[in-house]
Amino acid sequence: MQTHVMQRSSTEQYDVQHEIRTSRGSRNIHIHPLVTFNVADHYTRFCRQHSPAVAASKTTHVIGALFGIQKGLEVSILDSFELKYEVSDRKEVQIDKDFLSGRLNQFSQVFPDYELLGWYSTGPNEFEMDITIHKTMMEFNESPLFLVMDPSMQSGNEKKKLPVYLYESELHVMNGVPKMLFVQIAFKIETSETEGIAIDHISKVTPTSDSNRSSVHPHLGNVRDAIMMLSRQIGILVQYLDDIQSNDVTIDHGLLHQISTICNQLPAMGSNSFELASIKDHVDAKCVAYLAALTKGAQSTNTVTERFSSISSRDTKGC
């Protein structure tokens, strides 16, 4: 597949609304890890195939299509593939529609329930060129999604937010002229059982030259990072509740209900009913263990008795 170097001109930037919508009418979107892996792999291969100057440029990006299942407001982005395109002298991107149609037909034969959900790109910002590509994708889907992965984010010692953003287009009238804008929307990362096993295996396969390093160390590091992330997220919720009490922010009853749901998920460690239930389960488990030990002892005793009886009968016959 021939890949062209596509760069975004800084003079082509347009306004993008960054408010994350959580209204009841918005779609419930789930992104599977395979999609993020494909996008990252596409960008990495692109950088390896081109000169270091092109690879280091923050304006360079790659594009591809998103594939998955949509049932009503439930959307699952399950897979992706690269797109063929041409870049004109005026820096206009022209998608190879024949190639896209062919890939869609191939996918539909293997996955009849799948459909084109949108497209992806890499880069820190959104530009007018993205609108042009988005309009082309609207020929295959009336309301395509636009996924952006920011490869410029550097990973440090602490876990950071996934550099993935999702947008959908909306038509706004500005100064009497209709204009299409991107609106950032919320999404969730959803992992199936098989994907979870694969991701867990990949995360554990880390080369190390220290023979004295315990195999438990990576696991403890992941637990530490998870606890630190949980602590930061809880701190944000606590700060939000403090701001509500001080009347610094407006009350969002939907968000308060979600916070209440999170608090209700915590086990009631100090209640009497929990202690009684815990003691009962502990006693039941010990009783089962004791009964198993008695059964095993009775079986061993029966075996010894049978052997003794057999030996005694042979001695009696010999006399």
Instruction: Give the angle subtended at the CA of 275 by the CAs of 270 and 276, to the nearest 5°.
Output: 145
Q: What is the 3-state secondary structure (H, E, C) of 287-319?
A: HHHHHHHHHHHHHHHHHHHHHHHHHHHHHHHHC
Enumerate domains of the chain plus CATH numbers: 10-195 (3.40.140.10), 221-266 (no CATH)
pLDDT at 149 over 70: yes
pLDDT tens sequence across 40-77: 888 888 888 876 665 555 556 788 999 999 988 889 99
DSSP designation for 52: H
Neighbouring residues of 181: CB distance < 8 A, sequence distance ≥ 6:
14, 15, 16, 17, 169, 170, 171, 172
Cα separation, 290 vs 297, in Å, equals 10
Neighbouring residues of 179: CB distance < 8 A, sequence distance ≥ 6:
171, 172, 173
| Predicted local distance difference test score (pLDDT) of residue 52 | 66
Residue 110, CA distances (Å) to 101, 105, 127, 267, 272 in order: 15, 9, 35, 45, 56
| H-helix or E-strand spanning residue 86 | strand 85-87
Confidence of residue 151 (pLDDT cuts 50, 70, 90): confident
Neighbouring residues of 150: CB distance < 8 A, sequence distance ≥ 6:
122, 123, 124, 163, 164, 165
pTM of the model: 0.57
Pair 42, 63: CB distance under 8 Å? no
pLDDT tens sequence across 248-288: 888 888 889 988 888 887 665 566 777 888 889 999 999 99
pLDDT at 92 over 70: yes
Cα separation, 252 vs 260, in Å, equals 12
Closest to 38 (Cα-Cα) out of 155, 178, 143, 149: 149
pLDDT at 312 over 70: yes
Cα separation, 237 vs 242, in Å, equals 9
Task: Give the residue, 22 or 235, on which the prediction is more confident.
Answer: 235
